[in-house]
Every structure is written in C-alpha cells, then in structure tokens.
C-alpha cells in the first residue's frame, strides 16, 4: 500500500507511533473547529492519474446519470414547515456514478479496504471501530460532475462522509459549506432559509487538491459543490464506513441511488 498512500507523511500503518497519535490529535482538533479535516498529498505522486485512467473509460460508458430536484433535506416535506417555506426551496443536483462492482480490483477499492485507513478514521472520530460496507454497489462509489453539473445544498444522512478527490475540474467545483447550521435540538429553519437565499455570511469555500482525503461531518453542516466549468470532469471517490459490520442498502435505496438493485 505504500506505493499508493504516502505512509511516510501519514503513517497509518504505525498506530503505536508518536507520529500516528499526533496526526490523530491534529485531525480531532480540525474536526472540532472546522467540522472536517483534509489530508493533502495523501496519495503518492501519479496515483490519482492511475486511478483516473482506470475509471474514465468505465465512467464514460457505464455510469448512472442521476438528476434530481430536491430540497436541502432530501425529503418530500418537513412536518414543521409549510410547503412554501423558504427552507424548502428546491435545488437541482446532477452527477454520474460508478458503483463498487464497476471498479472492482481497482486502485480506489484497494484504498477503501485498507484496514489501517479504516482504523485511523475511527480513531479521529473517537469511535471504538469502523467497518467497510458489505453492499456490493454502495460501499465505495466514484462520482463525476461534468460541465454545468453540481452537487447542490444538502445535509448528509450519515454522521460523517469520507471522500478522496481524484481529479479537479478546470473551473468551478468548489466545496462550499456552512458549519453547524443546525443541531440535533435546533433545526434553525430561519438560518437554513437565509443560506438558500444567499444571505449567510458564514459560508466558507474550499478548493481541494487531487489526492486529498477529506473526512467531513455533514449531518448538521450544510454543503454543496458549485457547478463545474470546462471540459475536465470533477472526479471524487466516496467511501462508506459504518460503526457496525455487514451494512447493506435495501433494494429500494439501490434503485434510488444507482438505478439498479443488483
């Protein structure tokens, strides 16, 4: 794995070392202050290009085009809100997806399954353990955003998301987020409405470099990726880890996300 991940800079394989513990503590501090941490240069030189060369032909011919109009909650309604409430403003997301079974034995799946990585992320999240997903489609995905396409404002369903940027677009594709916009006890509907109206001064923007691993608490932090411009797609791998083993999506969830159940 040392030929893929820069284990000199990020010694995931040495959990008993001072360097490993220092890195974990640094990531925990970043999670507390920013709701995320980024490991720039996580991949060795040339690895992103290798991964893209494996993915691009499959992405261009076999990916699932997913276009949907949604609100920030990805729910048809919110009981506390009227249907015309500004917090339920509709936005559009367009992307193309490859599932884990379409990238089997490739570079991305090898990184996703690397147990020292899973254990490291668990430590940074202060979890006793994390596990790779069993679902043959959902466990690791690669998302492509082409010219004019974007991932629009939303809250994540899961507590955290792990991504690995493989290719940046020529323009656009900025990661924008509003940290702690809501909490488990306060939905802050007025604040959500201000965000969707473009009136929240606390929105932050981040341009991630290819080869960067990002771990992000997105359950209560609203976020989006701005529209891509230019001929080069934005390619990003999404890794799904859970606190319990053997997690599977239902057939309905697979159909909704990927257009197929198996």
d(C-alpha 26, C-alpha 29), whole Å: 5
Kindly state whether residue 188 falls inside one of the protein's structural domains.
yes
d(C-alpha 14, C-alpha 12), whole Å: 6
Which residues, at least 6 apart from 107, have a Cβ–Cβ distance to it below 8 Å? 4, 47, 50, 51, 54
Q: What is the pLDDT of residues 59-82, one digit of tens each?
A: 999 999 999 999 999 999 999 999
Kindly state whether residue 149 falls inside one of the protein's structural domains.
yes
Kindly state whether residue 1 falls inside one of the protein's structural domains.
no
| Confidence category of residue 254, pLDDT binned at 50, 70, 90 | very high
Instruction: Report the half-sphere exposure of 229 (CA within 13 A, side-chain side).
Output: 4
Kindly state whether residue 126 falls inside one of the protein's structural domains.
yes
Sheet containing strand 151-154, edge to edge, reads: 151-154, 222-225, 175-178, 204-206
The Cα angle at residue 36 between residues 33 and 40, in degrees rounded to 5 = 115
Range of the domain at 170: 18-258
Q: What is the pLDDT of residues 129-140, one digit of tens each?
A: 999 999 999 999
Could you tell me the CATH number of the domain that includes residue 121?
A: 2.60.120.620
Task: Pick the closest to residue 113 from 12, 241, 24 (CA basis).
Answer: 241
d(C-alpha 194, C-alpha 79), whole Å: 20
Kindly state whether residue 2 falls inside one of the protein's structural domains.
no
Q: Is 157 a residue whose pLDDT tops 90?
A: no
What's this model's pTM, rounded to 2 decimal places?
0.93
Kindly state whether residue 249 falls inside one of the protein's structural domains.
yes
Kindly state whether residue 250 falls inside one of the protein's structural domains.
yes
Average pLDDT over residues 29-51: 96
Kindly state whether residue 4 falls inside one of the protein's structural domains.
no
In the chain, the number of structural domains is 1
């Amino acid at each position: 794995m040392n030929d893929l991940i820069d284990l000199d800079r990020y010694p995931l394989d040495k959990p008993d070392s001072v360097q490993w513990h220092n890195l974990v503590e640094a990531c925990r501090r970043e999670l507390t202050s920013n709701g995320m941490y980024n490991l720039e240069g996580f991949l060795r030189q040339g690895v992103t290009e290798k991964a893209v060369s494996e993915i691009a032909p499959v992405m261009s011919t076999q990916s699932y085009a997913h276009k949907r109009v949604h609100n920030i909650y990805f729910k048809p309604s919110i009981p506390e809100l009227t249907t015309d409430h500004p917090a339920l403003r509709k936005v559009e997301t367009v992307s193309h997806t490859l599932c884990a079974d379409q990238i089997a034995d490739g570079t991305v799946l090898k990184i996703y399954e690397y147990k020292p990585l899973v254990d490291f992320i668990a430590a940074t999240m202060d979890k006793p353990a994390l596990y790779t997903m069993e679902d043959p489609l959902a466990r690791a995905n690669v998302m492509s955003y082409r010219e004019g396409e974007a991932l629009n404002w939303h809250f994540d369903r899961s507590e955290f998301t792990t991504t690995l940027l493989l290719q940046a677009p020529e323009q656009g594709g900025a990661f924008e987020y509003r940290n702690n916009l809501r909490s488990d006890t306060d939905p802050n509907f007025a604040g959500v409405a201000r965000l969707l109206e473009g009136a929240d001064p606390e929105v932050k923007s981040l341009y991630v470099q290819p080869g960067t691993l990002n771990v992000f608490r997105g359950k209560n932090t609203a976020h989006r990726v701005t529209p891509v411009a230019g001929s080069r797609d934005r390619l990003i791998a999404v890794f799904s880890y859970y606190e319990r083993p053997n997690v599977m999506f239902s057939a309905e969830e697979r159909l909704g996300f990927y257009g197929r159940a198996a």
